[in-house]
Amino acid sequence: MDDLVRELNRLGYQPIFLPRTNIEPPELYNYSPEVQRLVRRGPLKDYLSDAAQLAVQSAKLGDINYSYTSSKKAEAALSFLQNALKCIGITSIPKIDLGFAGSHDFSFAFTDVTSRKVDSSAIDQIIQNIKTGAIPEDVVAAGRLHVAYDYAYANKLIMSRGDKKEFSENISGKVGDFIDLGVKGSVTMESKSTISFKGSADERAAFAFMAGYLSRDEDGKWEFHPEETRRGEEARRYVMQRGIVLTVE
């Protein structure tokens, strides 16, 4: 299991590939675990008017580090980097040539990591008034309806060789010959062994969220579950699908 996914799961986050930028919690999703299908329904306030009054808090998070081994396949390393760049809002990439690195094993770090969240306890107080509209009843009854209440964002990605050695070729002054991110990002050779990628400052990209699922008891009362418990274990934050990155439709 990838180190990034494992670390995010430990913190209570579900890693996601989210095509839209500048979204904020709380939002409503439905998730089908059998096919790992995650569908964004939109802002919670569209289904629960009281949600518009919830206070959204900002916070700084620590850097998130991880490593990647591509088993000597250049195409796999390139695909992984492209997906990592999506996490900082860089979705259209004209050109990437990693031949200068001399390796297919890399270490990455997300930096400038922030979060935007609402307290799950505040959702507890208002959830009884939710109106699910045209969302199919079987989705609701199966506990597939989720509220994302905390998004994690990153604006910068640092890449170096996994063995921490210098890149095989010094591309200082000619980074553009190997990597072109278009107009939505920038790339900088910070040292002979480190490259940084930075997303657009005005497009905040979420790469993970915390969510809880909704259920109804026998009396029709709504319940919100931001934690999961197992007999003999302490409660931990609920994660939709541990060990993988979910793509939002």
What does the pLDDT read at residue 111? Answer: 81
Rounded Cα distance between 112 and 152, Å, is 11
The pLDDT assigned to 27 comes to: 97
In this predicted model, what pLDDT tens digit does every residue of 90-142 receive, in sequence order?
877 778 888 888 887 887 788 888 899 999 999 999 999 999 989 999 998 89
Query: How far is the C-alpha of 159 from the C-alpha of 66, rounded, in Å?
Result: 10
pTM for the complete prediction?
0.81
Domain that holds residue 19: 3-247
Q: By mean pLDDT, which of 48-57, 65-74, 159-168, 216-225 is the weakest?
A: 65-74
Question: Residue 49 pLDDT > 90, yes or no?
Answer: yes
Total number of domains constituting the chain: 1
